[in-house]
Chain A
Amino acid sequence: MKTRTLIGVAALALCAGAQAQKSTADGIAEYRKMLEDGNPAELFEAKGEALWSQKRGPKNASLERCDLGLGPGVVKGAFVTLPRWFADTQKVQDLESRLVSCMATLQGFDAAEIVKTPFGRGEMANVTALATWIAAESRGMRFNLPQSHAQERITYEVGKRAFFYRGGTHDFSCASCHGDEGKRIRLQELPNLTRNPGDGIGFAAWPAYRVSNGQMWSMQLRLNDCFRQQRFPYPGFGSDVTIALATYMGVNAKGAESIAPAIKR
Chain B
Amino acid sequence: MADPMRIRAQAAGDKTTVRVLMSHEMETGQRKDSAGKVIPAWFIQEVTATHNGKTVLTADWGPSISKNPFLQFVVKGAKAGDKIAITWVDNKGDKRTDEATVS
Direct A–B touching, Cβ under 8 Å = yes
Contact A38 B72 (CB under 8 A): yes
Complex interface bits, B68-89 against A, C-beta within 8 A gives 1, otherwise 0 = 1010100000000000000000
Residue of A nearest to B28 (CB): A2
Q: Report if A89 contacts B (CB, 8 A).
A: no
Q: Is B3's CB within 8 Å of the partner chain A?
A: yes
Assess the B72–A43 pair: CB atoms within 8 A: no
Known: A46-B6, A47-B3. A40 touches B68 (CB 8 A): yes
Known contacts A2-B66, A43-B21; A37 and B72 CB within 8 A of each other = yes
Which B residues lie within 8 Å of A4 (CB)? 66
A37 to B73, CA, bound (A): 13
Check A43 against B67 for contact (C-beta < 8 Å).
no
Q: What B residues does A38 contact at CB under 8 A?
A: 19, 21, 70, 72
Q: State whether the Cβ of A214 lies closer than 8 Å to any Cβ in chain B.
A: yes
Q: In the docked arrangement, what's the CA distance between A143 and B27, Å? A: 38
* Nearest CB on A from B4, distance (A): 7
Q: Which residues of chain A (163-212) have a CB below 8 Å from chain B?
A: 211
In this complex, how many residues of chain A approach chain B with their Cβ under 8 Å: the count is 14
Could you say which residues of chain A place their CB within 8 Å of the CB of B21? 38-40, 42-43
Residues of B in contact (CB 8 Å), total: 14
Q: Quick one: which of B17-66 are within 8 Å of A by CB?
A: 19, 21, 23, 25, 28, 64, 66
Say whether A60 faces chain B, with CB atoms less than 8 Å apart.
Answer: no
Which one of A3, A39, A43, A47 has the greatest number of beta carbons of chain B within 10 Å?
Answer: A43
Check if B64 sits within 8 Å of A43, measured CB to CB. no
Is A43 a contact of B66 with CB atoms below 8 Å?
Answer: no
The one of A1, A43, A211 that contacts B6, using a Cβ cutoff of 8 Å: A43
In the complex with contacts A38-B21, A40-B21, A43-B21, A1-B3 CB distance below 8 A:
no
B67 touches A1 (CB 8 A): yes
A4: nearest chain-B partner, CB-CB: B66
Q: How far is the CB of B62 from chain A (nearest CB, A)?
A: 10
In whole angstroms, how far apart are the Cα atoms of A2 and B67 in the complex? 8
**Chain A residue contacts of B6, Cβ below 8 A:** 42-43, 46
Distance, CA A47 to CA B70, complexed state (A): 17
A37–B64 Cα distance when bound, in Å, is 19
A1-53 interface (Cβ within 8 A of B): 1-4, 37-40, 42-43, 46-47
Inter-chain CA distance A1–B21, complex, in Å, is: 13
Q: How far is the CA of A226 from the CA of B28 in the complex (A)?
A: 29
B2 to chain A, nearest CB (A): 10
Beyond A38-B19, A38-B21, A43-B23, is A214–B68 a contact (Cβ under 8 Å)? yes
Residues of A within 8 A of B25 (CB): 214
Asked if B66 and A37 sit within 8 Å, CB to CB, the answer is no
How distant is the Cα of A151 from the Cα of B59 in the complex, in angstroms? 57
A residues sitting closer than 8 Å to B (CB atoms) are 1-4, 37-40, 42-43, 46-47, 211, 214
15 contacts between A and B (CB under 8 A): A2-B28, A3-B66, A37-B19, A37-B70, A38-B70, A40-B23, A42-B6, A43-B6, A43-B23, A46-B4, A46-B6, A211-B66, A214-B25, A214-B66, A214-B67
